[in-house]
Structure 1
Amino acid sequence: MWSNRLNAFVLGCVCLLALPAQAREYDDVIASGYVRIGLYRNFSPYSYLDKGVPAGVDVEIGKRIAKGLGVRFEPHWIVPDENLEDDLRNNVWKGHYLDKNDDQPLALKRLADVMMRVPYDREYSYMRDSTGVVVNEQVVMFGPYQSERWQLAYDSEKISRVSTMAVFQYHSIGVELDSLPSFYLTSGFQGRMREHTHHFPSLPLAFAAMQRGEVDAVMGMRAEIDQQLSLAGSDRYRLGENGFPGMGKQSWDLGMAIKHSNRQLGYAVEEVVDGLIRSGEMAGIYSGLGLQYELPAFYRDTAN
């Protein structure tokens, strides 16, 4: 009898592990008293742990979404996978029984109710694979809340001004390894900047190298640059005035994602975020963290 019960228990566990994670609908979120906000782990200044406490601009926005819904904020930490499609699959609509975000290696994967920092781009949203199937058909990307762009900062004691990328034929610049700026600087302009480009595991480490005098400038996402300038607290390090010829898309809008079947939650969240933007509170969140804020194209277009 015990053997039969054990076999039934094991079979039940196997079946449980085989079940996909289920996205919670709007009524479930409200009834539970909390909303899971999907945030990239160790992604300062957007979302990270500061002495064990969630911090960053996306954390602050997530808290306001929760407040607007009348529920508690709960972070759902995302460890990046190979690409964004994997992140959306693992955290928004399907999940995986091996939860990389949990201390328990075999814990069932929990899905985020809302995922932050997702490109708000129609072309990407409706991208098709080689068979013609929409890659992200299980996901709705909505609610643009910020426009991001590439930015450069330099040491004014080494370079008097950066109005063109041509200066980096003669001056060194630090970038994050395997980033778009890395590819741009090492492959563009017939390779004339390649030998002056230095690679680091992260933008903060590149900025620290500039402070030590190892490189004359750094390039990365604007919010990352803004945070490092704020932490440095010195007007010695300044923002470049230049664009990036030949780079392609230099700015892009960011929004959120939910599972396609949970549009009611999306409408409610979108209403909260829209209110934050139109009231100016969103810009205040960014400035309070020492970051520049730029309206997404949707709001810039409607304002004109």
Structure 2
Amino acid sequence: MRNRLRTTVSALLLCAAAVHPGLLRAADAPAARADTLKVAVYNELAPFSDKGQGIDADLAAALAKKLGLTLSLLPFNAGDDLNDDLRNMVWKGHYLGYGPADVMLHVPVDRMLMNANPQVTIFAPYHVESVRLVRSAHSIPSFDGVDALAGKRIGVEKVSISGMVMLGEGNGRFRDQVHIYPTATEALQQLKGGQLDAVLATRSEIESVLRGDPAFPVQDVPFERLPRAGWAIGMAVKKDNVELARRLQAALNEMAADGELKAVFAKYGVQVVKP
């Protein structure tokens, strides 16, 4: 299941990852080559990475091209927390033999996470993610705060940051109104179909499904448990891989400057937010 609650408050608020029964078999791991850039991306993290496609998959391909390397994508199922993911996919590798990659994408650029993982370098933030409320303008024609949600059907993704926040808001005052779905995409599709009145999800998830439809306004709701400014996501490499980090940072800077990064996000209906 996606977005398992992290073991620390900081990681819990700064992550949107995937959690599944197990990693791919070691036999499925691509063979290492000197001319290859191995990039780890999460499974079932739409619109960033799902079944080898998405923003992060396209970003990985663009970075490999700029470095003059062949891309080897390593999709993986997240562990119980980000420390597991960094160990398995960046600095050590999974005990089943899958990984490590040369670089992992979609890593929260968070000081607590950095301090807890001295074996890696977390760098190159390329987007700022945030949680937003999207509502049906038909069923909730005006919105002046969370009180407007009273009696309304609210969708969230199971075991997610959004779910945690919505279920806990006001000491559980909305608990009986919350409808839980396997993914945020499914909740958003239900909103489009009229089965829900509102959905709490990440801004990227909302934009990728609703594509700016004016029938579904997006609200910035100041929930106490969420950082108002959102959180930056970037990359991670093994600590001693200084030269690769330098080259990846330079490639990302070039993509941001010439509009290529913006185009990668726009392909999936998402507006890139500069860190």
TM-score of the superposition, structure 1-length normalised?
Answer: 0.75
- Determine whether 1:285 maps to 2:274: no
C-alpha distance after superposition, 1:160-216 (max 9, x if no partner): 133422211221210011112212112122322222111111111111222333220
Q: Secondary structure at the match of 1:218?
A: strand
Post-superposition offset of 1:234 = 4.8
What's the RMSD between the two structures over aligned residues?
Answer: 1.7
Q: In the alignment, which residue of structure 1 is the partner of 2:18? A: none
- Decide whether the 8 Å contact of 2:128 with 2:232 is kept in 1: yes
Paired position in structure 2 for 1:72: 70
Give yes or no for contact 2:165–2:223 (8 Å, CA) kept in 1.
no
Amino acid at match of 1:96: H
For 2:144 and 2:274, how far apart are their aligned partners in 1?
Answer: 24
Counterparts of 1:83 and 1:277, CA distance in 2: 30
Preserved CA contact (<8 Å) 1:165 1:244: no
- Unpaired segments ≥5 residues, structure 1: 1-28, 99-107, 127-134, 297-304
Q: Percent identity?
A: 29
Query: Who is 2:12 aligned against?
Result: none
- Give the aligned partner of residue 121 of structure 1: 110
Instruction: Answer with 1 or 2: which has the greater Rg.
Output: 1
Q: What is aligned with 2:3? A: none
1:254 and 2:254 correspond: no
CA distance in 2, matches of 1:217, 1:117: 27
Q: Which residue of the partner structure matches residue 132 of structure 1?
A: none
Q: After superposition, where does 1:117-266 map in structure 2 within 5 Å?
A: 117-126=106-115, 135-230=116-211, 234-240=213-219, 242-250=220-228, 251-266=230-245
How many angstroms apart in 2 are the aligned matches of 1:234 and 1:117? 27
Q: What is the CA–CA distance in structure 2 between the aligned matches of 1:187 and 1:245, rounded to whole Å?
A: 10
Worse-superposed segment, 176-185 or 206-215:
206-215
In 2: Cα distance, 1:171 partner to 1:261 partner = 52
Normalising by structure 2, report the TM-score: 0.83
**What is the aligned partner in structure 2 of residue 33 from structure 1?**
35
Residue pair 2:94, 2:100 contacting (<8 A) in 1 also:
no
Residue of structure 1 aligned with 2:87, choices 89, 92, 108: 89
Give SS of 1:174's match: strand
Contact between 1:145 and 1:295, CA under 8 Å: does it hold in 2? yes
* Contact 1:184–1:247 (Cα < 8 Å) also in 2: yes
> How far apart are the structure 1 equivalents of 2:159 and 2:84?
18
Gaps of 5+ in 2: 1-31
8 Å Cα contact 1:38-1:78 kept in structure 2? yes
SS in 2 for 1:265: helix
User: 1:259 deviation in Å?
Assistant: 0.7
Aligned residue for 1:58?
Answer: 56
CA distance in structure 2 between the aligned counterparts of 1:172 and 1:114, rounded to whole angstroms: 41
More helix by share: 1
Mean Cα deviation higher: 81-90 or 276-285: 276-285
Aligned-partner Cα distance in 1 for 2:46–2:213: 20
How many angstroms does 1:236 deviate by?
2.4
1:157 Cα deviation (Å)?
1.4
